[in-house]
Structure 1
């Protein structure tokens, strides 16, 4: 005979187990001077993600930075619906870090581009 209390307890844990076992989507970009790991912390299938982690390490100094950001997209004809994926964007005070779909790291200070390096994805 089925023990309904145990069955109900197992069902209650199912959403927690499902979330815990979802693998984050991570990719690593290596440029001349930086190793960058980007992790999408949203469930698979989401077009946009506002919980993306940037971990960058300067290969010359060994210093690293961890930021939280989002995916960036063009918008559809309605001006709202996300369309073509452009890359990722991360803010750190007055600095804006972008990693584009063509594997380029861009760092802006305000509106001024202060660093741009093309790289390659590694796994």
Structure 2
């Protein structure tokens, strides 16, 4: 089968558009020493607070996959209702809670007990610029 250059170019453009739109839809990947975590927002663009995140994870030690539903976490403004500063994400499982911060910190709790504390890195996201680097 022979593809014309125009057809091939359109196919590549469509593939690039689909890839970029899936990244813009809210998917983020966090890599830590113990986990590979993919977060995906199912909320409308522009929503400040989102109660519909999906976390697909893979435990590096045993290769066991898991999936959890969660939400974003924010401080509340002075009115006590309006979400203000973004804090991160929370995903609850029957025995564990995963808290992930914007700077890539992963905390896993069993009840009130902290059982894992790891720094990760957001894949495909440059490190935040430091003040003295500007």
- Report the TM-score when normalising by structure 2: 0.73
> Unpaired runs of 5+ in structure 1?
1-20
- 2:78 corresponds to: 77
Larger strand percent: 1
Q: How many residues align?
A: 103
Task: Give me the CA root mean square deviation.
Answer: 1.5
- 1:5 corresponds to: none
- 2:46 corresponds to: 45
- 2:18 corresponds to: none
- 2:109 corresponds to: 108
Q: CA deviation at 1:24?
A: 2.5
Aligned mates of 2:50, 2:77 — CA distance in 1: 17
Structure with higher RCO (Cα < 8 A, 6+ apart): 1
Q: CA deviation at 1:119?
A: 0.6
Question: Matched residue of 2:44: which SS?
Answer: coil
- 2:64 corresponds to: 63
- Report the TM-score when normalising by structure 1: 0.79
